[in-house]
Amino acid sequence: MSANTPATPAAAPAKSKKRLIIIIGVVVAVLVMGGGAAAWLISSRSHGDEEEGTTAARKEAPKIAPTFFPMENMVVNLADPGGDRFAQIGITLELEDAKTAEQVKLYLPTIRSGILMLVSQRTSAELLQREGKEKLASDVLREVSRPLGYALPAERERTKPADKNEDERSTARSRTERSPVHRVLFSSFIIQ
């Protein structure tokens, strides 16, 4: 019996160590899974809030790719003294949709004539400066919008309102009657 007696106490500590290791492993696994679940809940809430905000923004203004309408290059004599300077200008219009492109095609002779008249009034010194090109682009935008039935205010009209009521009316009008021609882009600009 003496041989059996020492074996029993040695077996008992081995079983308790195994049980302790299993209990610690289970506790650690529960803590890790609980932490992971908490992190997932927190991140899903923040993504849910972001998605709600972006969904509302998407519903308000759906993004549609613009339609680009390239026009043929134009060669124009400039208003320089002596009349020996000219500009070759390539213009691409950024339009709201393909329907607007069809309307622009219908009025293309009128639009090209208006653009030629605008450019022929400029000097090479004006057009060589960035500000001159930007002013020309805004004038061309107004000239393209006019035959389509949209009247954009001139630069000086936008900066100097006649009175406060007139300013409020023109702002409201510009919001409701936005031109389908968004921008004028220069694809080439050569002055000789």
* Shared domain check, 51 and 75: no
Q: Residue 16: what pLDDT?
A: 79
- Nearest of 134, 122, 119, 111 to residue 76 by alpha carbon: 119
* Shared domain check, 6 and 20: yes
CA separation, residue 150 to residues 53, 78, 142, 184 (Å): 33, 28, 8, 15
* Shared domain check, 21 and 33: yes
* Shared domain check, 54 and 84: no
Structural domain harbouring 103: 67-191
Domain boundary among 34, 63, 92: 63
Going from the first residue of the chain to its last (192 residues), give the mean pLDDT of each consecutive group of 10, the final group possibly shorter: 52 74 87 82 67 54 81 93 90 92 93 94 94 94 91 59 49 57 94 92
Return the residue matching tokens 């100097």. Answer: 160
CB 119 within 8 Å of CB 76 = yes
**How would you classify residue 82: left for phi > 0, otherwise alpha for psi between -120 and 50, otherwise beta?**
left
Distance CA 153, CA 143 (A): 11
Measured N-to-C along each axis, helices 108-120 and 98-106 cross at an angle, to the nearest 10 degrees, of 70
How many folded domains does the chain comprise? 2
* Shared domain check, 175 and 80: yes
Q: Residue 85: what pLDDT?
A: 92
* Shared domain check, 177 and 82: yes
Domain boundary among 63, 83, 101: 63
* Shared domain check, 71 and 25: no
Distance CA 71, CA 90 (A): 7
* Shared domain check, 26 and 104: no
* Shared domain check, 58 and 128: no
Q: Residue 39: what pLDDT?
A: 80
CATH number at residue 114: 3.30.479.30
- Nearest of 109, 84, 104, 80 to residue 93 by alpha carbon: 104
* Shared domain check, 71 and 59: no
Q: Residue 158: what pLDDT?
A: 46
Angle at 151 between CA 96 and CA 142, to 5 degrees: 70
CB 73 within 8 Å of CB 90 = yes
